[in-house]
Structure formats: structure tokens, C-alpha cells
């Protein structure tokens, strides 16, 4: 488990991000009507991995992508690591 070295920070931490993703995943799984066991069976991800993810946010990237696919959420990964055009953003600050 990742250590949370800054308990009073208002900024996101890796641990808070993992736990928030786990909370959202659990809600999506339940909304879709899947038990943990059914989701594991249909996605090809072990039940232990599903339980661990929902408990403390730990899951392999491959397993995360598999369950996201089953829940029709692969497009949610599109903005991850997307490059930004900084020059364009700065130009827009000075353009009326």
C-alpha cells in the first residue's frame, strides 16, 4: 500500500487518487448490476484482484483496462498522458 506522507494536504496524492478510483469503480460495477464474482468472470480478471481494487485501489493496468472494457469505459482513458499545446493556451490568454 502506498504511504500517505502528507495527510493534511489539499492536493491529490497517489493514494487518494487510487481510493477515489476504487470508490467510483465500485459504484459503476453496482450500477451495471455486476457482483464482484460476475465481473471477475466476465472480464477475465481474478476475483482477488477485483476485491483488492475495491478495498485499497491496487490493480494492474492490464486488469483495470479489462474491467473498464466490460463496463464500456475505455474512452475514459483517452485524456491520460495527453500532451497539451502550452503555446496555444498562452496565446489564448492574450487574444480577445
Domain CATH number, residue 20: 1.10.260.40
Model's pTM, two decimal places?
Answer: 0.75
Domain that includes residue 23, residue range: 14-77
Residue pLDDT, tens place only, 52-61 = 999 999 999 9
- Confidence tier at 91 by pLDDT (50, 70, 90): low
Per the structure block, which three cell numbers stand in for 79? 485524456
- Whether 69 and 60 have beta carbons less than 8 Å apart is answered as no
- 37 within domain boundaries: yes
- 23 within domain boundaries: yes
How many domains does one find in the chain?
A: 1
Per the structure block, which three cell numbers stand in for 21? 478510483
- 48 within domain boundaries: yes
- 22 within domain boundaries: yes
Closest CA to 29 of 71, 88, 89, 87: 71
- 28 within domain boundaries: yes
- 85 within domain boundaries: no
Per the structure block, which three cell numbers stand in for 45? 480478471
Amino acid at each position: 500500500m502506498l504511504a500517505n506522507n502528507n495527510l493534511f494536504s489539499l492536493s491529490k496524492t497517489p493514494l487518494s487518487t487510487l481510493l477515489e478510483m476504487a470508490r467510483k469503480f465500485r459504484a459503476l460495477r453496482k450500477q451495471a448490476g455486476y457482483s464482484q464474482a460476475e465481473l471477475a468472470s466476465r472480464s477475465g480478471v481474478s476475483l482477488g484482484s477485483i476485491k483488492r481494487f475495491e478495498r485499497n485501489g491496487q490493480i494492474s493496468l492490464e486488469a483495470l483496462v479489462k474491467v473498464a472494457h466490460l463496463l464500456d469505459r475505455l474512452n475514459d482513458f483517452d485524456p491520460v498522458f495527453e500532451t497539451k499545446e502550452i503555446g496555444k493556451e498562452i496565446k489564448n490568454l492574450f487574444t480577445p
